[in-house]
Amino acid sequence: MTRYLYDSVNPGAIPSSAALVAGYADGRYANMPAMAARFPHAIRVSIAVRWTTRAQVLDVESGNATPAQAVTWCTQTMADTPNKQLTVYCGMEAWPAVRAAFRAAGVTEPNYWVARYDNDPTLPAGAVAKQYIGDHNGYDQSVVADYWPGVDPVPAPKSSVPQWQTVLGLVLAIPEKVYETWISGVGWNNVTIFGATFGENGVPWCVIFDWDMFHAAGLDAIVPKTDNVNNFTAWAKAHGQWSEYPSIGAWVNFGNGAHTEIVVGFDADNVYTKGGNSVQVGAQDGGQGNGVWSHSHARRDAYVTGYFAPRFADGICPPTADPADPRGGKAVTSWRPPQSTPPAPKPSPAPKPSPKPSVSLAHIVYAAQHDPAAAQGHTSYKAEVLLVEKALKAEGLLVSQYVDGSFGSKTIAAYAAWQRRTVPGPYDGIPGKTSLTKLGNAHGFQVVA
């Protein structure tokens, strides 16, 4: 990665987009407070021109510090900082003399930021930065190494576990179960622990689950933070990370933006995934996923649109089926997570029936007594009345246009017809417990007080 540093006596002259800037900690051009004000989010490097000033860099040139003073700066002024975390700036011509001063004193050499205005952004061996453009529009420009000790944060030690494997382990460890709550008259509420981690709840959360897994692995910087399948698909295509082939840890786009899950395995014919906002195999969700579950799909099924294959920061390509994977992995025909000796299979418990939505008798009676006389379209308890109206429609007693959540005159007449079928009377269209319970039993809701 090529990085550029901009330094100037005038922070306002440096391009506002600069991510790495340097200013002066002392002397007539001291400007670090102004540099911090203009570049609050950039990496800022402090330069001292006097050997008695604490800073990240000491400027060794005519009128500033000398090579001998550079040794003293490192051993006295900055004695509490290892020399390998300090930097001395000097011209290429003075560099041999500076190095000789440290060697003569038997002192560990610091890092070197050298200057030669030759418009050649090539880092010399042994230097951490090179200033190759001088006084261009009021600033100097340097090329900088990928890691500058004492300036950049100390990189975390590399883990022996590949990052894709960390993500896979986190995905596989999530218990497969329902994570949402059923709300009567509304349905599953899309409120989960995954939405809380992401910072957005009450919305479809399949992409949120994918992001959470990378976030938990400390890898959210390599994936876009979005809750939309089409958004991450566009991002992947724009960043050269889109594939027609599965790979472990990839985010699969199902149904051209309808859903996503994370790839946990594949073979020549199938892709195996696990994801959130989904349903257990064989379950019916009525258009709503409610938990985290595993699935398999034929790789060539039209429902499988393609894959976002994240480029892992450690540079290790996960198992991939892509013969031209830009991450450098060799394609394999199949890969499944290794398993220890499987436990003896346990008999599957009988599935628990989904909780039935509830309808309050008191609410329905109130609606039947007040909605007809109110303004057109008035609703008292819309969600519960809708359940009753849908049941009446299924019985052939109410036409679709009046299934609107308002217990109006058409619904009264339809309910009266239901009463004539099921109870000895009265047939006034005002629900009673017996007739409403029979309607609920026939159409999937329970009656409460």
Average pLDDT, the chain: 92
User: Is residue 374 over pLDDT 60?
Assistant: yes
pLDDT tens-digit map of 357-370:
999 999 999 999 99
Contact 197, 170 (CB under 8 A): no
4 confidence band (pLDDT: 50, 70, 90): very high
Distance CA 295, CA 287 (A): 17
Distance CA 383, CA 123 (A): 70
The pLDDT > 70 percentage for the chain reads 94
Residue written as tokens 């460890």?
A: 173
Which of 7-16, 375-384, 414-423 is the least confident region? 375-384
Q: Strand (E) positions, 299-418? A: 304-308, 358-360
CA 131, distance to chain mean position in Å, is 38
pLDDT tens-digit map of 34-92:
999 999 999 999 999 999 999 999 999 999 999 999 999 999 999 999 999 999 999 99
Q: Is 405 left (phi over 0), alpha (psi -120 to 50) or beta?
A: left
Average confidence (pLDDT) over 396-408: 92
Distance CA 414, CA 397 (A): 5
Residue 184: the pLDDT is 82
Residue 377: the pLDDT is 80
pLDDT tens-digit map of 140-194:
999 999 999 999 987 766 668 999 999 999 999 999 999 998 888 777 888 999 9
User: Is residue 318 over pLDDT 90?
Assistant: yes
User: Is residue 345 over pLDDT 60?
Assistant: no
